[in-house]
Amino acid sequence: MKNIFLITTIALLLFPVPGGAQNSKADSLRAALSAAGKDTATVNLLLSLSSQLLASRPDEALAYSNQAIELAEELGFPRGKAYALKNKGLAYYFSGDYREVLNYWKQSLSIFESIGDQLGVSNLLNNIGAVYFNQGDDPKALEYYLESLRVSEELGNKLRIATALTNIGAVYFNSPANHDKAMDYSLRAVRISEEIGDFGAIGTSLVNLGEIYLERGQLDSALFYFEQSLDAFGVSGGDPYYAYTLNNIGKVHAARSDYIRAIEFHNQALQEARKAEAKREMSQSLAGLGEAYLALESQGRTPANLFRARSYFEQAFQEARAGNLKPEVEKAAKGLYHVYKLQQDYPLALKYHEIYESAKDSLLNEEKIKSVALLGAEYEFEKEKQQLEYELDARLRRQRSVQYATAAGLLVALVFIVILAQYYRLRRIRATEKFEAQRQLIMQDKLASLGQITAGIAHEIKNPLNFVTNFAEGSVDLGDELLEVLAENEEKLPPDQFGLLRDLAEDINQNARDIRENGLRADRVVKRMMEQARGDKGEPQPVDLNTLIEENIHLAYHGYRANAPGFDVAIGKHYNPSLPPVKAIPQDMGRVILNLFQNACYALNEKQKATGPSFEPAITVRTELNKGKAVIYFRDNGPGIPEKIRENIFQPFFTTKPAGTGNTGLGLSISHDLIVIGHHGEMEVKSEPGEYTEFVIRLPVERV
């Protein structure tokens, strides 16, 4: 959804015309420039000429912008220099050099601020926000968009207000927890755009609303808004907008599994994007075609579809790389990974999988999403605070006019101020609670997304696993029948031949039994993964802790070894066989066990790296019944935890792991809450630095 906003933001500052008309206008400006002197009119001529050439000849536009900067400095014409710096930034924007874009636009913004040109300030704030948005830095983008909205509201400029509202809605769309806010800002932008007759802005906001409904799976509503936006873009005459919306309609049909219609709309979008030379929309159209043909291949239509999909994904990847378009690089690389995997070209599949993961990591940052939510809440809270302060100031002024009248008037004023201050304090408390709720919603959304991925993987494993287990079961039965037949025909066969056949049959039978038993064991692990991945809370039920711990330790151990192949650990298990069932939520208890075991593996691995092969990692898991409570002990011989750190270990976002490991600092905090709040139990940590760490969990048995 980012792409349409970025096109909108830049288009509001630059109005390109068709190539022929553009060349004619540029020639006229060059002729006028040749006869011009050294004055502010010449600066404006240079600015007009650079604006005309920005889209088609950015190098020439850059040269004219530099001339305008030099002449404006010589004449002491700061406004002209500010606009020249803005044009210079636009020239670098079209070449994809965002570092230079930000450099010159921030210089331009500084000049506009110094001369009090608030309209220029609003434009540049919006443009700088667009660059950060295009780079995936949503918190920075939101910061500039909100400031642009504030300045635009002070000016009363409806065009700038509508633009800022549209772009703020775009940022909120990137966080599923903020989709309602995204819709609110987009609808406000539509209303204001309708008032001023800006059909391009109307179309942009409508397509944004359509994308929200598409994300939610409400396909009829999404298609309605996309078709409305096509009508608006048809009036405004913007090809990139039109192509972007056609691509979205293609996505709706793909979501309905109507891939033929999806291909039709993606082809239309590709034609429009090529006319407009819009690389982003071209890459999106090509990737959409690749996805549609890949889906047709999965339906078994024709093998040629796989080759078509590869061709379109390769073109999409080239366009995205050329334009430094990170989201499009991610999408095209993901498609190529799936194509090459199906073609069993594993080296290329691995190459594009690594490119996809790298692009995804640069775009998806949970801390950025959290910052977006907090920035938005701070903006709303600041407006409420200013309103309250204004009301308080007005009340105080009225009280001053009568405070000398009587002592009773002073008392009334004092009581009123105290009440108002208390009210203001309560409002601040509510705003703080709102921040915390938003943070929790973001974490829940991330965990839900992770659960969906895990469930998908487990589901894909389960089908072939069932196939193996069922055939092993059949092989056991066939082996038994073969042994019976051999026994019946023992006298008909030579003794040495009979003995050989019987031994072979018994070996086959035993192998089939081993396959069946291990297949059933793997099936239990997969079921456990699917339970862990469920998004629902689950209901408390009697749970055999020994079995639950065993299953999750096995799952956690092999999951950790997948990322650290050379790591090995001795696991001591001492389960109390008489431990009664405990009433618990299996999914939540499983999460706690997984987290504790994986943390122990990480600590042991780090200690082994530091001390060398002489160190032997060990983990001991023990259960017992003590004073009416089921007690679980997790102990490792790792580096231990210093006392100062132990005081904060259950605090949210507290972590000792280095940056870049993907750690959020929430694992132990969530585990502690699940045990203490969710199961009315106890959780504590004991440690001796350099020797061991032990987590102790106590759960009430009487709750069964």
The confidence score (pLDDT) of residue 423 equals 77
Lowest pLDDT segment from 155-159, 449-453, 680-684: 449-453
Mean pLDDT of 229-237: 74
Angle at 275 between CA 274 and CA 278, to 5 degrees: 55
Same fold, 29-116 and 133-237: yes
The confidence score (pLDDT) of residue 366 equals 41
Q: Are strands 618-626 and 570-574 parallel, antiparallel or unpaired?
A: parallel
Percentage, residues of the chain above pLDDT 70: 80
Cα Dmax for the chain:
128
Sign of CA dihedral 233, 238, 241, 243: positive
The confidence score (pLDDT) of residue 639 equals 92
Sign of CA dihedral 346, 348, 353, 358: positive
CA distances from 181 to 187, 570, 652 (A): 10, 51, 26
Summarised one tens digit per residue, pLDDT across range 397-422 is 776 666 666 777 788 878 878 888 88
Tell me which fold the domain 541-703 belongs to: Heat Shock Protein 90 (3.30.565)
Q: How confident is the model at residue 2 (pLDDT cuts 50, 70, 90)?
A: very low
Q: How confident is the model at residue 183 (pLDDT cuts 50, 70, 90)?
A: confident
Burial of 53 (C-beta count, 10 Å sphere; 0-12/13-18/19+): buried
Q: How confident is the model at residue 565 (pLDDT cuts 50, 70, 90)?
A: confident
Mean pLDDT of 184-196: 85
The confidence score (pLDDT) of residue 562 equals 75
The confidence score (pLDDT) of residue 5 equals 41
Which range has the top average pLDDT, 179-193, 267-281, 603-617, 657-671?
Answer: 603-617
Q: For residue 220, what are its two tokens? A: 């009829």
CA distance 701 to 704: 6
pLDDT at 519 over 90: no
Mean pLDDT of 370-375: 46
The confidence score (pLDDT) of residue 373 equals 46
Q: Are 439 and 369 in contact (CB under 8 A)?
A: no
The confidence score (pLDDT) of residue 371 equals 47
Q: How confident is the model at residue 436 (pLDDT cuts 50, 70, 90)?
A: low
Residue 281 φ then ψ, to 5°: -70, -30
Q: How confident is the model at residue 23 (pLDDT cuts 50, 70, 90)?
A: low
CA distance 512 to 521: 14
Domain 29-116, CATH 1.25.40.10 — does that match?
yes
pLDDT at 72 over 80: yes
Mean pLDDT of 311-332: 87
Q: Are 288 and 329 in contact (CB under 8 A)?
A: no
pLDDT at 703 over 50: no
Tell me the domain boundaries of the chain: 29-116, 133-237, 267-369, 466-533, 541-703
pLDDT at 454 over 70: no
DSSP string, 123-181: HHHHHHHHHHHHTT-HHHHHHHHHHHHHHHHHHT-HHHHHHHHHHHHHHHHTSGGGHHH
pLDDT at 696 over 90: yes
Summarised one tens digit per residue, pLDDT across range 86-116 is 988 888 887 678 889 899 999 999 999 999 9
The confidence score (pLDDT) of residue 443 equals 53
pLDDT at 446 over 60: no
Q: For residue 572, what are its two tokens? A: 């001591």
Mean pLDDT of 626-650: 90
CA distance 16 to 51: 8
The confidence score (pLDDT) of residue 252 equals 93
The confidence score (pLDDT) of residue 669 equals 83
pLDDT at 7 over 60: no
Q: Are 7 and 278 in contact (CB under 8 A)?
A: yes
Lowest pLDDT segment from 64-68, 183-187, 207-211, 524-528: 524-528
Tell me which fold the domain 133-237 belongs to: 1.25.40
The helix/strand/coil state of 574 is strand
Q: Are 317 and 282 in contact (CB under 8 A)?
A: no
pLDDT at 16 over 70: no
The confidence score (pLDDT) of residue 20 equals 39
Q: For residue 222, what are its two tokens? A: 């999404």
pLDDT at 522 over 80: no
- Considering the domain 267-369, what is its CATH architecture? Alpha Horseshoe (1.25)
Q: Are 651 and 663 in contact (CB under 8 A)?
A: no
CA distances from 425 to 272, 429, 439 (A): 55, 6, 22
pLDDT at 194 over 70: yes
Q: How confident is the model at residue 212 (pLDDT cuts 50, 70, 90)?
A: confident
User: What's the whole-number average pLDDT of the chain?
Assistant: 80
pLDDT at 600 over 80: yes
pLDDT at 634 over 90: yes
The confidence score (pLDDT) of residue 375 equals 52
**Pairwise pLDDT comparison (181 vs 632), residue with the higher score:** 632
User: Could you tell me which of 243, 204, 200 has the C-alpha nearest to residue 225?
Assistant: 204
CA distances from 240 to 3, 12, 268, 272, 285 (A): 10, 14, 12, 7, 11
Mean pLDDT of 539-566: 86
Q: Are 167 and 133 in contact (CB under 8 A)?
A: yes
Under DSSP, the state recorded for 579 is P
CA distance 87 to 629: 72
